[in-house]
Structure 1
Amino acid sequence: MDLSSVKLYIENLRKDLNRHNYNYYVLNSPQISDIEFDKLMKELESLEQEFPEFVDPLSPTQRVGSDLTKGFEHVVHVRPMMSLSNSYSIEEVDDWFNRVKKSLAKEQFNIVGELKFDGTSISITYKSGRMIRAVTRGDGTQGDDVTANVKTIKSIPLELQPGDWPEEFEIRGEILMPWDIFEKLNAEREYNEEPLFANPRNAASGTLKMQDPKEVAKRHLDARFYYLLSDNLPYDSHYKNMEAARSWGFKVSSCMKKLNSLDGVNEYIKYWDIHRKELPVATDGLVFKIDSINQQLNLGFTAKSPRWAIAYKFNPENACTPLKYVSFETGRMGIVTPVANLEPVLLSGTIVKRASLHNDDIIQELDIYEGDWLYVEKGGEIIPKITGVDKERRLPNAKKIQFVDKCPVCGTPLIKIYGEAAWCCPNHYGCRPQLTGKIEHFCARRMMNIDGIGEETTELLFDCGLVKNIADLYDLKYDNLLGLDKIGEKTANRIIDGIEASKSVPFERVIYALSIPNVGETTAKRIAKAVKSIDNMQMMSEEELTAIPDVGQIIAKSIYDFLRDPINIDIIARLKQAGIQMELSQEKLSSLGDALVGKIIVISGTFLHHSRDEYKEIIEREGAKNSSSISKKTSFVLAGDNMGPSKKEKCEKLGIPLISEEEFLEMIGGK
């Protein structure tokens, strides 16, 4: 054969293999035997080796993973991946239905019921019928590019089946680990004395973040897709769009159903509350969506979730199991938490051995005695929770559980936190779990993101005397690490590189990483914007600190006391000397303005020059507040394309100005 004939033969062979993959993994209806499939695959592999000029990264031969991924690139979502509002009763779903009915006035509407699969969210972009990129949900604004790993999942098409698909579109779904694969994986890990995965969701998420696609391929992940996004959708109907996606090669759940009444919604809930346990993959609820895409746009979004959809969480499973003992554990901020250690019990597909009792008040309220049988359930089918005691099974001479009066680790007498139920160990600079907890927190991804230092490595560095506080990290050398237990050359280099890279982490994340009591991630951003540098922050009085948005008297006192402790003063000085960012960057300082001071602004629609989240950040930098709903207090609406007609109507009724993207940028000086 000449080269053009070889190329055509290879392309047809790939199409055949893709079709057989689709029949096997999506339709569950194979048309050839495994032996015949393997013969075709080997023939393609042989041809691609003989004619490397015709190798295609989306060839079926590449699904096993072809290279070692060094890390994951962060990718900004073109359309943010918002979370859904949760409901836990049929009445709450009824309320949502009635709100939609009221908002849509006299318009007829249909609802699509779907299973809420319990996996890890993914968004995949296709162009010209070929997979371009697969990105995790991340924080909703940006996620990790895991394309190399997603390519190994055989139920996800690399190239689409023939059909009238848009030239470019995004499809969202859940990456899943089926129950049988999960059980086999945990059995292998138990045999090898490795930590077990808590549930299929964690296993799927962990697998998707593995560095070697070949290892990902061995885990046999699956997927279900539930939403299509494009500027050129084939239908105004979400249901029809997903049926179309099914015909293009995507695994869309056959349990999806079109519903046209509240009674239909309620019947759907009742049915799946029973039959979900028969499914081969984990679910944690249902999702209801308005079918019409046009009506979805008109209903719009709140700050966090779409108004046109709601999630219904199944009532948690519960069981009764004996209490073995209560342990008391000291956390990073010194809070001592009681934990019920239980006889293992199976709940929602996972083994539960422990459940937090939170504080002394809960122990007293539940009236727990030694050896009691406790009712345990999984809140949202994820977090185990003790809900009661079977007092009829109580042993006659059992003693009541008493909260400890000293730290279980360092022996320091505990103090009660004013206004709270918590007891705290005040030995903040001499209590091991507080010291190691602060180091681990400092190194974590959302803080300083020092790769290679997790819980186990933190404990190791602490025990070796190399790192006693966060400033000690910047004194570490490659030679200090090499030779330590489980730390080889690659890990040592990764840690040193991670420490060096952390010197460029922005100031607001440094504030959060310091473990200042009561200062979370959002508050840290507010503080950074207000104080601009650690030097300014250290000089501020409690009164000045309370003037910062979201900083009340308790937080202000925490900050003030923290920054005046001699140990913290020394640590901060050493971090400065190491080159940590202790002030806002020039870029952020120069972008701070006052063009919008005092205004309340609502964002609606889609934009050309910046994303919605970027506009929210700009609005805050210019001294204004973001709001999710239009009211008399709204100064104006930043109106992009596809703004819902109901919002426009409300603006007209209240006399609220609509400002275009170009007008807004001119207003703030073109930023």
Structure 2
Amino acid sequence: MQEDLFNESAGNHRLRERVDWLRQEINRHNHAYYTLDNPTIPDAEYDRLFRELQEIEAAHPDLVTPDSPTHRVGSVSSTQFEPVTHQVPMLSLQNGLAKEEVEAFDNRVRELLGVEQVEYEAELKFDGLAISLRYENGILVQAATRGDGFTGEDVTANIRTIRSIPLTLTLPDNPDVLDVRGEVLMFKPDFHRLNEMQRAAGQREFINPRNAAAGSLRQKDATVTAGRKLNFFAYGIGALEGEKMPETQSAMLDWLVKAGLPVCTERKVVQGINGLMSFFQAIEAQRDSLPYEIDGLVYKVNSLAEQNRLGFVSRAPRFAIAHKFAAQEALTRVLDIDVQVGRTGALTPVARLEPVFVGGANVTNATLHNEDEVHRKDIRVGDTVIVRRAGDVIPEVVANVPEKRPEGTQVFHLPHTCPVCGSPVVRPEGEIIARCSGGWIRCPAQKKNGLQHFASRKAMNIDGLGEQLVEQLVDKGMVNTAADLYALSLADIAGLERMAEKSAQNLIQALNTSKKTTLARFLYALGIRHVGESTARSLAQYFGSMQALADATEEALLEVEDIGPIVAASLREFFADSLNRDLISALEAHGVSWPEQGGAAEEMLPLSGKTFVLTGTLESMSREVAGEKIQALGGKVTGSVSAKTAYLISGQNPGSKLQRAERLGITILDEKNFCELIHHEKSD
């Protein structure tokens, strides 16, 4: 609130205009939230407006009017459902957004009760839809939404479809009347499944679980509600006739459990402000792992007699307060949409935002995921948007606010060329991710990831060349291509952070050792798109030499088992690029080599056409090394036993593959027999 707003010299006229505007905005958002189930601003933004109006009215009582939204809970009911007058009003709670506000609440309660310490029941504040359930003689006869707190909507038919709500109470002697207060909500997994169904049907997705729960409950056709999984938690009693009211809030909830009503188990009786804050910290730490959305906690004086003594103010009880978490959604404006190129070449649109505090941090950027997502949400530069941040999750743009869109905004499209290296951007049919086609050899944005892959255990196996070391080498300009790795000296490496001379010597040794490799490993290390370990082995076995593979036509590539048009086109594109050929030549110049094979087109290898499966633990070698020995002789290694399997190699503690091989009559070799087979085939 700006100070001049309270300054008498600024004039009462300006203040009255502000109050009128705030009331109009709050009423409009109340209608969107409570009646239309289509909120247009985050809770934090609504709370800010509401607090501002409260502060002005507190400072200027002459501006208070009977129809101010500060005297009401929500909006009027929709005309779609029959109105229901609540026997006891369903009022909302005061909000506390900081520890100091909760401390002030505790001080007021202690002062009014004249005690040193108060016992509280601490409960979760669900992000759902408040509901009143009326039971007469143990039978559910009516269910109503909160509405404006005094009159709600009859949603009995839809409530009866929620399986967690009992149609009949389970007490030995049921009360004449029981008015249960609680929350209808949708759990996170059910929310995600619902949105998947909405997408598949080409229908509008729900913004959040609360919106989904409200929209599902307020269906004219109860069968639609029944098809969406909703849940319910009871948290209080509005009216009770023919039964003695329990003495505490905690005992009341225990009694509701005995009556067969679901009550959240995440609740606790605590002592004083320290107990409240300890519970708050504990729940805040596990918030993201809960199966449902909560936006804070509710603290209630545990003694119902003390609750009655404290009573109510105009719109809320004095004996309770809602302690809300830092906002996880907030409103801001999109200043620009940039495109980031990831380590794998994926292009990701990122919204640059007006700074906004959300989820406990200042947010200036938010992911837009991919081009399809931008179009689905229709996010444009200049839009006012809802931004969500939960825990350490990367902030994301949830939705735009159409009514705030300025004129002349443009639909976003990804660029046709990589913004980093200028290579064409490709998006294969059926995929949602567009990528830079330059690869790690050409595109600097992909370089670090490519070098880590090149050095990985199943590629060149350069032990000790991890992520942090690659980061340093690239950032310091010491390594630009994979060939530069083999030009590093002992002094170069020893001069890096956290690299002692011994570690530097080990890395130099690992680099030298890695120079002697296999064609399959080398092909895999190059990071050619669509060429994984298995494909690299097939290519090495078929062509036998790098030159033969590099010169192969697309037709020749298609002759190789498991090579289809997409992989063949990727290979031809890779070897047609002079930069890639130059890298291979540079690596060979640094001493990287592999034994030439004759190639399946010229001669058959000893184990060609034979399929092997490995199970159990081998003593003299790892299963990976055993697989390489088999592949070097032309054999194929698979993970499952079938009628096509020629041999099963069985080590210690074999699994179920051994029993299956025995049933199929597969030849089974122990480690000694396997070594003899390999030695015999090599000598031949």
For the aligned pair, the TM-score class normalised by the smaller chain equals 0.3 to 0.5
Bigger Rg over Cα: 2
TM-score, with length taken from structure 2: 0.40
